[in-house]
Copies of this chain bind each other. A is one copy, B any other.
Amino acid sequence: MESKKTTIHDIASKLGITASTVSRALNYDSRISLSTRDKVIELAKKMNYQPNKLAANLRTGHGKNIGVIVPRINRNFFTGAIAGMESITNPAGYTLMICQTNENYGSEQKSLQSLINNRVDGIIMSVSAETKNSDHIQRVIDMGIKLVQFDRVSNELKVSKVVNDNFKGAYELTKHLLEQGYKRIFHFSGPLHLNVYQERYKGYQQAMEEADLNVNKEMLIKNVLTKVQGANAISSLLESKNLPEAIFSASDFSGIGAAISLQNKGIKIPDDCAIAGFANEPFTEMTQPGMTTVEQFSEKMGKHTAKLLIMDIEEQEGSVDPTIIKIDTKLIIRESSYGNKM
């Protein structure tokens, strides 16, 4: 098979016209006569013509492609955000090129590089857990490439951003736990150099302070994000006979790991220890008891992010001023945090 691909020149010569006419006809240029246009389109179909986007993009200098860089695509939050982006970009004629970094800094650099080399029109990104500075991103921006961040963003960058109200979400959640009568509330956190974990911690801290409760060192347990890490954290706490009354985990995954680990040891939730997470991953409502968490509206975030980027791309000359959009979160109360200390 593997026959040479047909080009506009092939169509042109068969029709006794020039390639430019074919090009115009295929692009529905209003100046071409309907009869030629129809002839061209018909023959193109018959010859199974496949436009070479590379050539077109090379010529025009843009290809209606948007690059998306996320830490992982197996997180409900990120797939939701991507779905939201698609709902905006597809109708607008843009195609997404999705890259995942697996939380790896080097991989993030490579993805940026690859997207640039492929001449995407703009980039949407959420930084990896390993990313501690933004020089590599600043360099991209300096090249004049449109870039918008969402969720995990870099404070030092002057770009448009879409974020959750992590602080408020964590604050409200902690407040809820306090209202249920829990006082010794521990916090499982992520890497604190990431805005999202920093702010969740701050929200927790604020609520505790307002209740005149001290957050001492042992109550903040860092880098507990996965199911396994959650289970391990519980083991340590039990070993040191230091079980809290409640745990607010910045991640649903470690929250669930903790919950399962507790239950396996015969510790009742929420009677002996309450648990709450963050992100409203689907499994949080499938556990027994259902886990209290914070909903993030990832689709909405994705939509806003895509809109900002497209506006930025299609703005004539001169960049728009960076916009920061903060999306509200919503507390989801389930049985894992029903109070027993009232």
Contacts and interface: CB of A to CB of B under 8 A. Distances in A.
A144 B3 contact: yes
Interface stretch (A8-16, A44-52, A208-216): A44-52
A256 B57 CA distance: 47
Interface string A27-61: 00000000000000000000010111111011000
Interface string A218-249: 00000000010000000000000000000000
A95 interface: yes
Interface in A253-286: 256, 260, 263, 282-283, 285-286
A283 B247 CA distance: 20
Interface stretch (A114-122, A168-176, A325-333): A114-122
A31 to B, nearest CB: 24
Contact of A54 (B58, B73, B260, B288): B58
A54 B118 contact: yes
A117 B283 contact: no
A143 interface: yes
Contacts of A324: none
Nearest to A107: B90
B74 A116 contact: no
A81 to B, nearest CB: 11
Contact of A260 (B50, B114, B286): B286
Contacts of A57: 54
Contact of A63 (B3, B54, B144, B286): B54
One complex includes copies of this chain to the number of 2
A282 B63 CA distance: 38
A142 interface: yes
Contacts of A2: 144
Contacts of A118: 53-54
Interface string A69-109: 00011101001101000000000000101100000000000
A57 B102 CA distance: 27
A6 to B, nearest CB: 10
Nearest to A285: B260
Nearest to A2: B144
Contacts of A98: 73, 98
Interface in A124-166: 139, 142-144
A287 interface: yes
A275 to B, nearest CB: 12
A262 to B, nearest CB: 12
Contacts of A260: 285-286
B76 A95 contact: no
Interface in A274-308: 282-283, 285-288
A1 interface: yes
Interface of A: 1-3, 5, 48, 50-55, 57-58, 63, 72-74, 76, 79-80, 82, 95, 97-98, 114, 116-119, 139, 142-144, 227, 256, 260, 263, 282-283, 285-288
8 contacts: A48-B139, A48-B143, A50-B116, A54-B54, A54-B118, A58-B58, A227-B282, A286-B286
The 4 closest A-B pairs by CB, nearest first: A288-B288, A283-B283, A2-B144, A74-B79
